[in-house]
Amino acid sequence: DFTTPPQEYLVKFHATQEYNQRTSEGDIVWAYKNGKFKEHSVWSDGSEAITLLTEKSCLYCVRIGKKWSCEKCEDKMNYDTFVRNFVDPEYAGEREILSTKTYCFLDRLESESRNYEIIVCFDERRIPLYFEAKKFENNALTWHMTLKAELVLENVKDAEFKPPLKP
C-alpha cells in the first residue's frame, strides 16, 4: 500500500507540550535529506533546539526514553528502521494498527518506573503527519506532547528549514 518515501522532505508541525503542570506551544520542523534527519524546534518560551540525526543515530531516543538512549544505544535506529518498525505490517510486531487510512500505529515502551505510549501516523508516502507521546511515571501522566503537521514540502531548501514561530 505504501509508495517509496521521497528522497527529501520537510514537515512543519504545530506542537503542544504539557510538563510539570505547564503547557507550552511551539513549531517543530522535521527535515529528511541525503539520509540525514534534522529536527528544529522553537517554543513559545523562547527556547530553541536543533537535533541532527544521521543513519548512525538512533531516532526519537530523547523522546522515547531509556530503551533507545543515544549515549547507550546498542541497537542504533536509522530513519528507515524507524519507519519499518512503525509502518510495515511485516515488521510491526505487537503494535496496534489504529487506522488503515492514515497508517497510525501505537507503541508502548515499559521500564520499571516509567512507561511511554507513542502514536505515529504516516501518509501513504511514509511521511509522518502526527506524533503523540505520553510518559507515565508510577502510573501518573507526567509528560504529553502532540505534533500535528501543518505543512509538507518535498524538495527541501535550507532556507525553509527554520520554523517561523506564530505571533
Q: Is 4 within a domain?
A: no
Q: Of the segments 35-39, 42-46, 61-65, 69-73, which one has the largest average pLDDT value?
A: 42-46
Q: Is 28 within a domain?
A: yes
What value does the CA radius of gyration of the chain take, rounded to a whole number of Å?
16
Q: What is the DSSP string of 71-138?
A: TT-SS---HHHHHHHHT-HHHHTTPEEEETTTTEEEEEEE-SSEEEEEEEEE-TT--EEEEEEEEEET
Q: Of the segments 23-27, 125-129, 162-166, which one has the largest average pLDDT value?
A: 23-27
CATH of the domain at 73: 2.50.20
> 120: closest CA among 108, 106, 110, 109?
106
What local confidence, expressed as pLDDT, does residue 146 receive?
92
Q: Is 100 within a domain?
A: yes
Q: Is 1 within a domain?
A: no
Residue corresponding to grid cell 504516516: 122
**Residue 165 pLDDT level (bands cut at 50, 70, 90):** very low
Print the domain residue range for 105.
9-158
Using DSSP, state whether 14 is helix, strand or coil.
strand
Q: Is 30 within a domain?
A: yes
DSSP secondary structure letter of residue 59 = S
Q: Is 3 within a domain?
A: no
Q: Is 153 within a domain?
A: yes
91: β partners: none
What is the overall mean pLDDT for the chain? 68
What local confidence, expressed as pLDDT, does residue 23 receive?
92
What's the domain count of the chain?
1
pTM beyond cutoff 0.75: no
97: β partners: 105
Query: pLDDT higher for 106 or 64?
Result: 106
Q: Is 95 within a domain?
A: yes
Alpha-carbon distance of 126 to 3, in angstroms, equals 8
What local confidence, expressed as pLDDT, does residue 66 receive?
34
Query: pLDDT higher for 153 or 158?
Result: 153
**Residue 118 pLDDT level (bands cut at 50, 70, 90):** confident
- Residues 6 or more apart in contact with residue 60 via CB below 8 angstroms: 68, 77, 82
Residue corresponding to grid cell 542504533: 76
The predicted model gives 111-116 an average pLDDT of: 73
For residue range 5-53, what is the model confidence (pLDDT) as tens digits? 677 888 889 999 998 888 999 998 888 776 666 778 888 888 887 776 5
